[in-house]
Amino acid sequence: MKRARTPAIACLLATCLLACTSSLNWRTVQLGQLSTLLPCKPDNATRAVSLAGTSVSMEMSGCEAAGVLFAISRIPAPDATQAGQLMAALRQASLALVQTKVIHPVDNTGDAQISFDVQIDGQRPDGSPLQARFKWLVAGSDVYQLAAYGAQLTAEQTEPLLSEARFK
């Protein structure tokens, strides 16, 4: 009987190991002065967006892995004195876009004038639930947003993106 159990146990163990294997392949990505980790090869784009009544250029790098969309964005402010105001406008627009229902405070990892962290419960345009994890940063005259969007986010999915953000 022990021999009959051994293949079944080995098969169960292999299934568990495969289920625990992360589908996230983290790699360093650079956008402007910021480098961080993304779990997949990103697509890049630039587009004009309207923030605080002004049209600004936004550079983006993002990808989707394990059902989560990961993105980093950079907006150069006209000058460093406007970066804080631009960060606040970006924060407001981002939270409105995901139809924020509940904001979960996250310990801010820096000066509130140049860094802001939050996790939210919101919804997609179709009404389905959405969680998002955001971090906004200012470096000189550049405003950055790091974001992860998914039905249910885990620290394994979001922490490498956020905790590995570094300015060069």
Task: Give the mean pLDDT of the chain.
Answer: 85
Q: Given a cut of 60, is residue 111 above it in pLDDT?
A: yes
User: What's the confidence (pLDDT) of residue 14?
Assistant: 39
Which has the higher per-residue pLDDT, 65 or 111?
A: 65
Q: In whole angstroms, what is the distance from residue 155 CA to residue 51 CA?
A: 30
CATH topology of domain 24-167: Protein Transport Mog1p; Chain A (3.40.1000)
Closest by CA position to 101, among listed 126, 132, 122: 122
143 pLDDT band (50/70/90 cuts)?
very high
Q: Given a cut of 90, is residue 52 above it in pLDDT?
A: no
Q: In whole angstroms, what is the distance from residue 110 CA to residue 117 CA?
A: 9
Q: What is the pTM of this model?
A: 0.83
